[in-house]
Structure 1
Amino acid sequence: MPPRPFVVDLDGTLLRSDLLFESAMAFVRSNPWHCLKPLVWLCRGKAFLKEQLAEATDIDVTLLPFDPEVLAMIEEQRKQGRIIVLATASHHLLAMRIAEHLKVFDDVLATSLECNLSGTHKRDLLVALYGESGFDYVGNALDDLPIWRSAERAYVVNPLPGVGLAIESLDNVVEVVRSGATNFRDWYKAIRIHQWAKNALIFVPLLAAHQISNPLLLLHSLLAFVFFGLCASGVYVLNDLLDLEDDRRHPSKRNRPFASGRLSIKSGLAAFPCLLFISFAGAWWWLPRQFAAVLATYYVLTLIYSLVLKRIMALDVIALALLYTLRIIAGGAALELELTVWMLAFSMFMFLSLALVKRYAELQAALRNGITGKTGGRDYYPADLAMLSSLGAASGYLSVMVLALYIHDNATIALYAFPRMIWFACPLLLFWITRIWMLTHRGRMNDDPVIFALRDRLSLAMGAMFGLIFWLAA
């Protein structure tokens, strides 16, 4: 008598993700102006939705996060001469491509336009093919419960909430695999709390106005910092969901929680609107309305950047510089302080230089990996390195010129007791910009330049000296 077929589910079991959500995010990224179309398709049924998404997207299945423990389980069963069957609710076009990639399946059962192969539909098909208790089944969700009941042996992989209690009624569970447990560290990385350091720019208007000792304004700045951080975290989560494939091609970004499958796309789709709601509700309730308006502008620009601008040469770095400058504008709006043109011009030139540092470092890394074409969905080539360094250094030096001109402004003379002291900040800033670009040219800029500066001892020391100069000038 031949051994029982070993039937393996795909989404959440063999794959640490869900192809329905994978294809939906890929569709939204490539068709942002038609992002609501999947909801129209869903009205005609899940099977129709899956077919339309499968045909409209081109997911690289070789990059998907497969569970190594399930692959090892399959290999062990293959060595015993068992038939291995992939039975999935994902569309057959995607299932066949995965089977062709992995080359471990003898048969593939998947969703077609006629039937969404999940739950009882999958159970009925398996029983019709192999008989009651004529197969073993590996799954992870409550939808798999009727299939486990009809299987001879049940294998449970990374059970979803509620599954652990439900399988207690089964007497055929032989193994429960927990290889993808989510922890707090994954969410900490996903919302990127360390990136909140960039939001310290919100305090710049408070410092520039010499109002740091005003408790009410300081409280408003702290609230603005928190609400801006929550908004930025929501944007980071959404951006990661839209950039899954690009992140998986990157040597380090592929380890991000969503790209690696440690966090589900579904949880991300629930988290980012919650973060945005808390952010905007708090901003509307506790701070001036203009702060909420700036926050909304930041969010819209970030969304446009993620969907469109990040893939357009020059516009991407200008947008990044503007996003940094909006943090300063947000700080002014939260405190209802008027910002000077010098401050905004300095910010745009400085952060344009740092945005170009980031692109230069990315291209340099691509060149080291032997990539000569466009990288990571960006509209740059390694041959652009010389031009990027020229533009970036020039932009950084222009920020120093803006600072020098600021010293002679009438408002500056009125605000500072010793405005000429600020001249000492100019060579300090020239040295820092030159050093950043030299380190980048030497291949030592392996992080976001702003984060690098916050971790670099010399940059921190120079930042302290920069602040001291302005304090002495006051």
Structure 2
Amino acid sequence: MDDTGTFMKTESKPLVLDVDGTFLKTDLLFETFWAGLGQAPIATIRAVFAHLTDPARLKARLVDLTEIRTDLMPVNEGVADAVAAAKAEGREVVLASASNAALVKRLAADHGLSPRVFASSETQNLKGRRKAAALVEAYGEAGFDYAGNDTVDREVWSHANAALVVGDTASAKLLEGQGKPVTRIAGGWSPRGVLKALRPHQWVKNVLLFVPVLAAHDFTLSTLISDLFGMLAFSFAASSIYVVNDLLDLEADRLHVKKKHRPFASGAVPISVGMAAGAGVGAAALVIAAILSPAFLAVIVGYMILSLAYSLKLKRLRWIDIAVLAGLYTIRVVAGAYASGVEVSGYLLAFIFPAFLTLGCVKRLTEVTLAHGDERLPGRGYGKPDRPDLLNVAILGMVGALVSFFLYSFTDQAVALYPTQWLVWAALIPIAWWLIRMVRLGYYGKQDHDPIVFAMKDKRGLGILMIAIALLFQAAGLWEQWVSAALN
């Protein structure tokens, strides 16, 4: 397309398209790598270490290890328009890629392009000069138009009749300066997309680190600051895992009505950029944790390992995934105790775990309720027929949490912290009300997929929780202390 928005006609010369970052808004090597980690993690890691210096063989090995759907991969809209225009003119549209030939041929068939492709074999990585030589041999000097997106494509553009440049402004200017006909097509990514991939809205879940402080009534400035840094570390750690989870779930997300718009699944952010961002925030989390305390560092490392295990395998196992979800939430409470130096009661953990077991069931209830059919959800072990069982487990978790809370009220610690015992029992009413409400909303599919994020936005639910907290503060005599302190 020229500056007026019209695609330039170049007789009947074929239009040759690079694949990674040009025709596709993703990279087939990284796609197979992450699919391999999800489908055959040990073999994939071995392949990477064995063939790290031999890209062609590595690409071939990853293709052998994985099953991926190229038809679901995001296509650059501007390039798709160029393809449609070329087809309308009767021109051949050919894929030429450094990716493995098996995938490139499959991709060409998916989109009705020429069955003739130029791609890497197990022994040759078709990139840069090698790709240029192959195309010149096939079509002659200036016998084709070429679409690319990277400086390595300059080797090919120099032999092409015309250049279609996706997102690479520097190359476009250079080619224009050389007198080459250039069509510019939008490409690239934005920092906003990376931020979205880190899911900062999910950081609200890490307020759970303040639960031990709240339970112990320790509101000193040093304690709160330590917990804030702990929350920051956990937020960074969680974001690194969200990146990994999204990269492992690319195909499942593309099949999902909402998740297909996520940055990596939609191609809005390149996988390589996501990998760098995930590694960066993960490293920041570990540094902050190490500064706080060795114990907190150990907890956050354990959280990251368990989260990785969940992303790789455990989330696909029925019931185990819900138990792990509850464990990951409970770990946040333990982390809050280590970050602040406040002791956490065993009864508090006995209340927290079944409560979050209930919320884990609520998460799955919401997903299966909103599903369109009875088949199991992609990447999950549940389907709509599992709703009754999920409801039963949610109720069991709720009962377990309430019983644990009630038993806690008789402990020496509770008696010391909450002199007015009957108000502690009264607080059970809004707590039970909130849990029942969450289960009900999940059962009817009336909340977001993450119950904690939903809870932090749910005004009515927050009001119910505030009633429970107000009753507990009254039972502890905190209102009188604060009023007295304010008056004095």
Kept in 1, the 8 Å contact 2:430–2:465? The answer is no
Deviates more, 1:167-176 or 1:199-208: 167-176
Question: Quick one: distance in 2 between partners of 1:163 and 1:258?
Answer: 25
For residue 185 of structure 1, the aligned residue among 172, 182, 192 is 192
- SS of 2:158 mapped into structure 1: helix
Q: Aligned residue for 2:78?
A: 69
Amino acid at match of 2:339: A
Which runs of 5 or more structure 1 residues have no equivalent in the other structure? none
- The answer to whether the Cα contact below 8 Å between 1:24 and 1:38 also exists between their aligned partners in 2 is no
Say which SS state the counterpart of residue 36 (structure 1) adopts: helix
CA contact (8 A) 1:186 1:262 kept: yes
Uncovered stretches (5+) of structure 2, i.e. residues with no partner:
1-9, 477-488
Aligned residues: 467
What's the counterpart of residue 133 of structure 1?
Answer: 142
User: What one-letter code is carried by the residue in structure 2 that aligns with 1:187?
Assistant: V
CA contact (8 A) 2:101 2:120 kept: yes
1-structure distance, mates of 2:358, 2:72: 33
2:215 is equivalent to residue 208 of structure 1: yes
Alpha carbons of 1:300 and 1:12: their partners in 2 closer, same or farther (altered >3 Å)? Answer: same
Percent of aligned pairs with the same residue?
Answer: 36
Aligned to 2:252: 246
Contact 1:15-1:67 within 8 A present in 2 as well: yes
Q: Pick from 284, 292, 300: which aligns with 1:295?
A: 300
Q: Distance in 1 between matches of 2:289 and 2:345?
A: 24
Residue 171 of structure 1 is matched in structure 2 by: 179
Query: Match for residue 13 of structure 1?
Result: 22
**In the TM superposition, what is the alpha-carbon distance from 1:361 to its structure 2 partner?**
1.4
CA contact (8 A) 1:156 1:173 kept: no
Partner of residue 273, structure 1: 279
Shift of 1:360: 1.4
Alignment CA distance shift 1:437-1:124 (3 Å): same
Partners in 1 of 2:413 and 2:448 — Cα distance?
40
Of 318, 326, 335, the match for 2:323: 318
Aligned to 1:258: 264
Structure 1 residue corresponding to 2:418, chosen from 394, 416, 420 = 416
Report the more deviating stretch, 432-441 or 92-101: 432-441
Task: Select the residue among 178, 194, 204 that pairs with 1:197.
Answer: 204
| Residues 237-277 of structure 1: CA deviation (Å, up to 9, x unaligned) | 11111111111111111111011111111111111121111
- 1:417 aligns to what SS in structure 2? coil
**1:172-211 deviation digits (Å, cap 9, x = unpaired):** 1421111x44223312211111111110010111111111
1:4, distance to aligned residue in structure 2 (A) = 1.1
Contact (CA 8 Å) 1:139, 1:156: kept in 2 or not? Answer: yes
Q: Secondary structure at the match of 1:150?
A: coil
Q: Which amino acid is the alignment partner of residue 313 of structure 2?
A: V
Provide the residue aligned with 2:41 in structure 1: 32
- Report the Cα distance in structure 2 between the residues aligned to 1:471 and 1:165, rounded to whole angstroms: 67
With 310-319 and 183-192 compared, the bigger mean Cα shift is at 183-192
C-alpha offsets along residues 371-400 of structure 1, whole Å, 9 cap, x if unaligned? x33212212232211111011122112211
Structure 1 stretch displaced more, 26-35 or 309-318: 26-35
* Bigger Cα displacement from structure 2, 330-339 vs 298-307: 330-339
Counterpart-to-counterpart distance in 2, 1:165 and 1:288: 52
Aligned-partner Cα distance in 2 for 1:365–1:328:
30
Tell me the CA shift for residue 156 of structure 1.
Answer: 0.3
- Structure 2: how far apart are the matches of 1:16 and 1:346? 46
Q: 1:452 — aligned with what?
A: 454
Q: Quick one: distance in 2 between partners of 1:59 and 1:118?
A: 23
CA distance in 2 between counterparts of 1:408 and 1:165 reads: 76
Q: TM-score, normalised by structure 1?
A: 0.95
Which letter maps to 1:445? Q
228-237 vs 420-429, which moves further: 420-429
What TM-score do you get using the length of structure 2 for normalisation?
A: 0.92
| Contact residue 397 and residue 433 of structure 1 kept, 8 A | no
- For residues 163 and 296 of structure 1, the distance between their equivalents in structure 2, rounded to whole angstroms, comes to 43
Moved more, 73-82 or 103-112: 103-112
